[in-house]
């Protein structure tokens, strides 16, 4: 009987203690009870989709008290410049949506993820396509979360192929077939533009939307390199080797000669000149394509919707435009059949070092890394996924599927210099070759190579100086 009463007493004590135990009011909460946090996200595009992701994060992760404000910039370049200026003053956003190249080159300005069992660099690399992993992981640290991998593809007028090509209704796989198609599709006349139909918008740098990007792809497909492995010097005029046809060539020279041949009257594949598109028109070659005056243009996945939107907004006073149903997409051409190489444009989120609550920012990024969230982002933006487990699903989508499949084999081309500066210098040189109808393009490339190498030397000297100053400051703080 005594044992019985002792047991009752023990149970009573246990229940008494459990009843008095205080429950943690913050259990399961992202934001501590009674507190309010603000998160600022900077982006140059897809602001509506990002805003929707922010609302979803708040509702699905018990983040009451969190306010997310998305700020859109007019361009990627303006966003990046403003970010660096603000960070120098110890200010800036909590999260940025930008290019994988910028994240890769600016890891010292970012907060890496504190890795956990469920979110390691190894698991990350197994989840995303190679280009995305290369951009976000450095030295075993994760510096961002990718949501898209875009690339250039071919956008063409199917009606032109149906009526003017006898053997097929779509573009060929290789650049040789592309050149042959261009010759067959091009129709010359005595107008000021010299063409009633241009087979392809390619060959110049001043009046194309993506002149540099097209040549960048050809350059790398040829086997040419822009920079030495350590990024210390430019070698864009120094790469040489054997082409698929067995001939030994300077890769850079060969790439530039092929690209510019479409803009030089002495070649059979001449199809593009300064009169076909206004360099001051933001639509440039896209407008010529919409007017039915060119058969093929190059664009990223989001350009497909932009072109269709322009058609739908076309005013009767603007004249004739092609039917939306005739717009098709296909893979970016390759040097040889079976080869698969296209330059990646990785897009993702990162956390700047000046973020007020970096742990909270990374909770948001880890939420974005989920499969269902990535799928939702794709549905809203139509951008090709960065996740391997979504490629099969999205690859079956009409038109957009080509860009999704290219994401699997897309590769980065990181530029150690300021990319806009390099792009401008490179484009100016190629345009000079076109304007002068030069046949000695290698001479121009060698001049550019020397110029870029000099700029690289100045860049790396400055970087070393900044690193030394940062180390000295850090040492001084520790001494104090």
- pTM for this prediction: 0.90
pLDDT of residue 97: 98
**pLDDT tens-digit readout, 2-60:** 444 444 444 443 333 334 445 555 555 667 766 889 999 999 999 999 999 999 999 99
202-206, 222-226, 274-278, 378-382: least confidently modelled range: 222-226
Cα Rg of the chain (Å, integer) = 27
- What secondary structure letter does DSSP report for 48? H
Task: Give the residue among 285, 297, 274, 287 at the shortest CA–CA distance from 322.
Answer: 287
Question: At 227, phi and psi to the nearest 5?
Answer: -140, 160
Q: Mean of the pLDDT values across residues 280-305?
A: 97
pLDDT of residue 118: 78
pLDDT of residue 17: 33
Q: pLDDT tier at 472 (50, 70, 90 boundaries)? A: low
Q: Mean of the pLDDT values across residues 321-349?
A: 95
Q: Mean of the pLDDT values across residues 378-400?
A: 96
Does position 202 have pLDDT exceeding 50, yes or no? yes
Length of the chain (residues)? 480
3-state percent helix, strand, coil for the chain, nearest multiple of 5: 50, 15, 35
What SS3 state is found at 66? strand
Structural domains in the chain, CATH included, are 37-150+345-395 (3.40.190.10), 153-342+416-454 (3.40.190.10)
Task: State the Cα–Cα distance between residues 271 and 257, nearest whole angstrom.
Answer: 15
Token readout for 273 is 């000149």
Higher pLDDT, 151 or 479: 151
What SS3 state is found at 188? strand
Tell me if 183 sits within 8 A of 272, measured CB to CB.
no
Tell me if 216 sits within 8 A of 422, measured CB to CB.
no
Percent of the chain with pLDDT over 70: 90
Tell me if 297 sits within 8 A of 285, measured CB to CB.
yes
Q: Mean of the pLDDT values across residues 345-362?
A: 96
How many CA atoms within 13 Å lie on the side-chain side of 313? 7
Average pLDDT, the chain: 90
pLDDT of residue 467: 66
144-153, 296-305, 434-443: least confidently modelled range: 434-443
Does position 468 have pLDDT exceeding 80, yes or no? no
- What secondary structure letter does DSSP report for 440? -
pLDDT of residue 315: 81
Q: pLDDT tier at 389 (50, 70, 90 boundaries)? A: very high
Does position 268 have pLDDT exceeding 60, yes or no? yes
Helix 211-222 and helix 251-261: axis angle, to 10°?
Answer: 140
């Amino acid at each position: 009987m005594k044992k019985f009463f002792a047991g009752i007493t023990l149970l009573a004590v246990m229940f008494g203690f459990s009843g008095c135990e205080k429950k943690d009011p913050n259990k399961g909460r992202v934001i501590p009870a009674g507190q309010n946090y603000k998160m600022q996200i900077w982006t140059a595009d897809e602001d509506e989709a990002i805003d929707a992701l922010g609302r979803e994060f708040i509702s699905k992760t018990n983040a009451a008290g969190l306010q997310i404000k998305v700020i859109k910039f007019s361009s990627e370049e303006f966003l990046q410049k403003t970010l660096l200026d603000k960070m120098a003053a110890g200010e800036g956003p909590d999260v940025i949506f930008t290019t994988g190249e910028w994240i890769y080159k600016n890891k010292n300005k970012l907060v890496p993820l504190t890795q956990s069992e469920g979110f390691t660099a190894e698991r990350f690399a197994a989840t995303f396509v190679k280009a995305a992993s290369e951009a976000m992981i450095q030295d075993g640290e994760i510096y961002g979360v990718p949501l898209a991998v875009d690339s250039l593809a071919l956008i063409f007028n199917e009606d032109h192929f149906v009526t003017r090509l006898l053997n097929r209704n779509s573009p060929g796989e290789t650049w040789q077939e592309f050149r042959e198609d261009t010759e067959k599709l091009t129709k010359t006349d005595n107008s000021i533009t010299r063409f009633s139909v241009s087979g392809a918008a390619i060959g110049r740098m001043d009046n194309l939307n993506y002149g540099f990007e097209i040549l960048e792809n050809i350059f790398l497909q040829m086997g040419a390199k822009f920079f030495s492995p350590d990024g210390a010097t430019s070698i864009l005029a120094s790469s040489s080797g054997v082409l698929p046809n067995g001939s030994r060539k300077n890769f850079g020279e060969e790439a530039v000669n092929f690209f510019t041949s479409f803009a030089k009257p002495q070649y059979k594949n001449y199809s593009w000149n300064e009169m076909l598109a206004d360099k001051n028109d933001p639509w440039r070659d896209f407008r010529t394509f919409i007017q039915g005056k060119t058969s093929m243009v190059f664009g990223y996945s989001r350009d497909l919707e932009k072109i269709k939107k322009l058609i739908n907004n076309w005013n009767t006073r603007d004249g004739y435009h092609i039917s939306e149903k005739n717009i098709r997409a296909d893979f970016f051409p390759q040097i040889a059949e079976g080869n698969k190489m296209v330059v990646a444009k990785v897009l993702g989120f990162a956390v700047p070092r000046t973020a007020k609550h970096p742990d909270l920012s990374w909770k948001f990024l880890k939420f974005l890394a989920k499969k269902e969230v990535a799928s939702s982002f794709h549905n809203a933006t139509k951008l090709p996924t960065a996740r391997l487990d979504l490629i099969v699903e999205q690859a079956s989508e009409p038109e957009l599927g080509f860009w999704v499949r290219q994401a699997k084999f897309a590769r980065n081309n990181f530029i150690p210099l300021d990319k806009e500066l390099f792009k401008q210098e490179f484009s100016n040189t190629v345009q000079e070759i076109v304007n002068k109808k030069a046949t000695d393009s290698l001479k121009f490339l060698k001049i550019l190579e020397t110029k870029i190498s000099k700029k690289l030397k100045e860049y790396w000297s400055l970087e070393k100086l900044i690193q030394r100053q940062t180390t000295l400051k850090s040492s001084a703080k520790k001494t104090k």
